[in-house]
Amino acid sequence: MAPRRWTSSEQLLWLQNELPAYLQMQKEKKLPRFFESLYSKWFSDFPERTELNDSAPFDENPDGDLSSQAAIGDEEPADLDSANTTNSDEQEGSTLMITQDVILTDVINDRRKKLREWFRNNTKGKTRPGGSSTSKALNILLGQRARGTRDLKEVEVYSQLHYESKVKPLVAEAIKEDNLEPKQKICVVREHTNNCFTNESDEVKDEVRQETVRINAARRLGGVDGSRTKEEIYRAIQELPVVLGQIFDELSSLTGGWHYTVLMGGADPLCEGDAMTLSYHHGKTLDGLSFKASTPNFHKQYLLPFE
């Protein structure tokens, strides 16, 4: 049987909104700073003294009504009893306040413990961005489709080292002169990269050769992460529809036949300053049309504003 939830609906939503910050600070190894800030905000929004006051009140007179005892005896003892009662009430009130402060301190410490436990329990299996099993699966799908397991060629390593300074200006000029399609862009990149590498000095070629050996050895051992060439990044982008198709086929099965549309875009890896946009549409209408095909001016309406 699951333990009873200790949070209200409002408190639960409050905590859930703090999860991204927790994961980020966990990644940066700054959880003490996170909780220091969290405690301050939590007790400001949900004061524990208010919680205590909303609970059953303390019984300040547990032994019953003492008024009949005060009436017994003559007038002088009654005055004495009245004075004693006043002093007693003050002492009891002071003791009660001290007791409540002690209880409040214990409650606050207990609440802090529960807050720490809540974040631990609700982030099990979750990691920093890029470290989840889903992220790793996507990285494998895109990385292997775009890169494969083959070794990099020397000209590809040359592109990593010298594309910005030596190849890109030539590519930009060629693209500017001709209105090229996406597939033509990558051909232009390859052509200019090969030409530049062929015309390099022996010293540069030797440098590239040594770096190629180092990178390929590291890749085979899994020691290089994210060192993709511009061509590999471009191919990964072009493979997105295939990968998304696999993902959304599974999601459609899990969700009872739901279908999906994804709009995406970002910097063109082959032409700095340009933006690329793509769309993927899973499923079709009864007429056999995708969301894109059934929407007039789809590109102008949804993608063009981002280009």
The first and second tokens of residue 153, run together, are: 């060629």
191 is written with which tokens? 């052509």
* Whether residue 173 is found in the same domain as residue 92: no
Task: Tell me whether residue 48 is in a domain.
Answer: yes
Residues 254 and 226 in one domain: no
Summarised one tens digit per residue, pLDDT across range 153-208 is: 899 889 989 988 999 888 888 877 777 776 677 888 889 999 999 999 999 999 99
Task: Retrieve residue 13's tokens.
Answer: 């939503």
Range of the domain at 94: 9-56+66-121
Total domains, the chain: 3
Same domain for 265 and 176? no
- Where is the domain boundary, 180, 209, 234? 234
C-alpha to C-alpha distance for 279 and 240, rounded to whole angstroms: 10
Tell me which amino acid residue 36 is. Answer: E
pLDDT in tens, 41-87: 999 998 876 555 554 433 333 344 433 343 434 444 445 455 555 55
For position 118, what pLDDT does the model report? 92
In a domain, 147, yes or no: yes
Residue 85 lies in a domain: yes
pTM: 0.35
Looking at 188, 218, 234, the residue that finishes a domain is 234
Q: Of the residues 218, 234, 250, which one is the last residue of a structural domain?
A: 234
Q: Look at residue 1 and tell me if it is in a domain.
A: no
Structure confidence by residue, pLDDT tens digits, 228-286: 677 778 878 887 887 888 788 878 877 888 999 999 999 888 877 788 888 999 988 88
Q: Is residue 128 part of a domain?
A: no
| 229 shares a domain with 266 | no
Mean pLDDT to the nearest integer, 213-242? 70
Cα 80 from chain centre: 70
Identify the residue whose tokens are 């007039």.
296
User: In whole angstroms, what is the distance from residue 211 CA to residue 229 CA?
Assistant: 14
pLDDT score recorded for residue 213? 82
